[in-house]
């Protein structure tokens, strides 16, 4: 190695180390070489497309994903002793999402760049070309279809294509020419299967987006403080951003109150809900266990085919068969009627079915309240004391709620106003709203509604 070559190599490697960070450039410990990882700059709303299985009825069916980042191209290189005066760098170029044909085209262009710049260092020019011109050079546009191409029977041959033609994942543009070209041994598609490729692309995209988010500053809409993204969290659906400290307090209050379905975005009228993973990241282990238990309980309550064992010591969820009124507890083996919750009575008529509708409950209540003692005893024998008592209690509760409370405009939970101002907060979803007009109020500035001259509630806070 001449002193001039050695000095040029050292200067080039030092320059690359100063230009790129450790994730992009890593110098080899034992030789004059290293590895560069080149992430391409994708257009906005770039999409990847994967066709469905060939066995499917719709041959053109498939899946489309919008991404911001693709896994990097990896350029491994070693500098010969006579580089750059005589020989070019020895290299391999690998990628997970480019086919061997496309990588071969890139390798050839790197060779051409060397020929155009003989006697000069060329690594920076190679890296700039790969980073800035790969998509245009290979005519890659959105949506880009992912394909996996294998080298059959150990032979590195594929159809040749003109470099200015549009390339597909396997070089199909050249199939019509009937020519063949040897794939470059330096071109490596580093992936096992199409399904693993999709997973790796989506995982890498998510990790890079999180990395970018963590390094930026954001204004929390609750405490109005600017904080790093690593100290913030955003809701997946709406992308509204808040600091973790504010969301932690908000989530903990909701979970302690049992409102696990109301961990929604604090922005007024926003329906985005926190994921269980986000909740687990912010609250403690004990609170998350309560959240998980209540979430399961409320989900089961919403299922029409799930009832609970009526025994107070059991309360195990029981799946109800369609059209069947018998439930059998899997824990205590108690067979019960899913309507009256008593022991299963077979084909005998259920006493509760006659008081299911609101109209019938009202008629039964009126008849029972106006009846004499003998008629009351007769009604109790017909419908059961429990059925009559339940009908009376439900109607009284409904009438009281309609008279003394109003429904939250965000979640519908009934809220009672005892005293104080007309700015209300829902005990269920924590939404601020006006008691007069029943409109949702800003989470950050709830009193602005009563200061707005155009508002019907102007100066009507009290």
Give residue 343's domain range.
326-406
Shared-domain flag, residues 59 and 44: yes
318 found inside a domain: no
- The dihedral through the CA atoms of 383, 389, 394, 400 has a sign that is positive
Tens-digit pLDDT profile for residues 151-177: 544 433 333 333 333 444 444 344 334
Q: Which of 332, 382, 421, 437 is catalytic?
A: 421
Residues 40 and 106 in one domain: yes
Structural domains counted in the chain? 4
- Residue 321 covered by a domain: no
Could you tell me if residue 276 is inside a domain? yes
CA distance 287 to 278: 13
- Whether residue 391 is found in the same domain as residue 457: no
Q: For residue 27, report the phi and psi dihedrals to the nearest 5 degrees.
A: -85, 140
Once rounded to an integer, what is the mean pLDDT over residues 266-285? 87
**pLDDT digit string, tens, across residues 53-78:** 443 433 456 788 999 999 999 999 99
pLDDT at residue 172, rounded to an integer: 39
pLDDT band at 3 (very low <50, low <70, confident <90, very high): confident
Does 349 share its domain with 462?
A: no
Residue after which a domain boundary falls, among 173, 199, 225: 199
CA pair distance 181, 344, nearest whole angstrom = 78
Domain assignment present for residue 397? The answer is yes
12-16, 113-117, 339-343, 435-439: the lowest-pLDDT one: 339-343
- What is this structure's pTM? 0.56
Q: What is the mean pLDDT of residues 187-213?
A: 88
Question: Is residue 241 one of the residues assigned to a domain?
Answer: yes
What pLDDT is attached to residue 304?
64
The whole-angstrom separation of Cα 238 and Cα 402 is 34
User: Are 268 and 334 contained in the same domain?
Assistant: no
Please check whether residues 22 and 112 belong to one and the same domain: yes
Instruction: Count CB atoms within 10 A of the CB of residue 460.
Output: 15
Tell whether the model's pLDDT for residue 107 goes beyond 90: yes
Domain boundary among 150, 167, 199: 199
Answer with the one of 360, 375, 406 that is the final residue of a domain.
Answer: 406
Residue 41 confidence (pLDDT) above 80: yes
Q: How confident is the model at residue 316 (pLDDT cuts 50, 70, 90)?
A: confident
Same domain, residue pair 89 and 10: yes
421 is catalytic: yes
In whole angstroms, give the CA distance from residue 282 to residue 135: 40
**Is the predicted pLDDT of residue 128 greater than 90, yes or no?**
yes
Instruction: Give every CB contact of residue 421 below 8 A, 6+ residues apart in sequence.
Output: 461, 462
- pLDDT over 90 (residue 93): yes
190 inside domain: yes
CB contact at 8 A, 207 and 192 = no
- Check whether residue 394 and residue 425 sit in a common domain: no
CATH code at position 250 = 3.30.40.10
Question: Is the domain of 72 the same as that of 182?
Answer: yes
In this structure, of 30-34, 41-45, 117-121, 367-371, the range with the lowest mean pLDDT score is 367-371
Question: What is the sign of the dihedral through the CA atoms of 454, 457, 461 and 462?
Answer: positive
Do 108 and 92 fall into the same domain? yes
Is the pLDDT score of 43 beyond 50?
yes
Answer whether residue 313 is part of any domain.
Answer: no
Residues 21 and 73 in one domain: yes
Evaluate the CA torsion angle 225, 227, 232, 237 in order and state its sign: positive
The answer to whether residue 208 sits within a structural domain is no
- Whether residues 296 and 443 fall in one domain: no
Q: Residue 258: left (phi > 0), alpha (psi -120 to 50), or beta?
A: left
Please say if the pLDDT value at position 130 is more than 50.
Answer: yes
């Amino acid at each position: 190695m001449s002193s001039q070559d050695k000095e040029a190599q050292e200067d080039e490697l030092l320059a690359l180390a100063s230009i790129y960070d450790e994730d992009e450039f890593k110098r080899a410990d034992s030789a004059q070489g290293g590895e560069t990882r080149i992430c391409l700059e994708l257009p906005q709303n770039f999409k990847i497309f994967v066709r469905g299985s060939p066995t499917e009825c719709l041959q053109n069916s498939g899946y489309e994903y919008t991404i911001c980042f693709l896994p990097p191209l990896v350029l491994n290189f070693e500098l010969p002793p006579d580089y750059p005066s005589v020989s070019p760098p020895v290299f391999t170029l690998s990628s997970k999402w480019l086919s061997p044909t496309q990588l071969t085209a890139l390798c050839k262009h790197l060779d051409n760049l060397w020929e155009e710049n003989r006697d000069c260092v060329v690594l920076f020019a190679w890296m700039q070309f790969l980073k800035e011109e790969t998509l245009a050079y290979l005519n890659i546009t959105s949506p880009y279809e992912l394909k996996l191409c294998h080298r059959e029977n150990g032979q590195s041959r594929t159809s040749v294509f003109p470099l200015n033609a549009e390339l597909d994942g396997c070089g199909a543009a050249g199939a019509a020419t009937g020519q063949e070209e040897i794939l470059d041994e330096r071109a490596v598609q580093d992936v096992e299967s199409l399904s693993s490729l999709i997973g790796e692309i989506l995982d890498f995209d998510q990790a890079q987006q999180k990395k970018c988010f963590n390094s930026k500053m954001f204004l929390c809409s609750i405490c109005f403080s600017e904080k790093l993204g690593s100290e913030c969290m955003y809701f997946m659906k709406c992308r509204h951003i808040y600091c973790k400290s504010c969301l932690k307090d908000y989530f903990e209050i909701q979970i302690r109150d049992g409102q696990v379905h109301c961990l929604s975005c604090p922005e007024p009228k926003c329906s985005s809900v926190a994921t269980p993973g986000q909740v687990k990241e912010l609250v403690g282990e004990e609170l998350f266990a309560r959240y998980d238990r209540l979430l399961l309980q409320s989900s089961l309550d919403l299922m029409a085919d799930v009832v609970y064992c009526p025994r107070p010591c059991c309360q195990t969820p029981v799946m109800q068969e369609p059209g069947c009124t018998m439930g059998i507890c899997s824990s205590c083996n108690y067979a019960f009627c899913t309507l009256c919750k008593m022991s299963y009575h077979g084909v005998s008529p259920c006493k509760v079915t006659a008081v299911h509708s609101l109209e019938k409950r009202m008629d039964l209540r009126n008849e029972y309240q106006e009846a004499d003692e003998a008629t009351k005893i007769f009604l109790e024998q017909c419908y059961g004391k429990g059925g009559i008592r339940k009908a009376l209690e439900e109607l009284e509760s409904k009438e009281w709620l309609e008279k003394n409370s109003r429904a939250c405009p965000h979640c519908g939970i009934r809220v009672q106003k005892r005293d104080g101002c007309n700015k209300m907060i829902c005990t269920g979803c924590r939404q601020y709203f006006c008691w007069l007009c029943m409109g949702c109020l800003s989470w950050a500035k709830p009193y602005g509604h009563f200061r707005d001259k155009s508002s019907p509630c102007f100066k009507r806070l009290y």
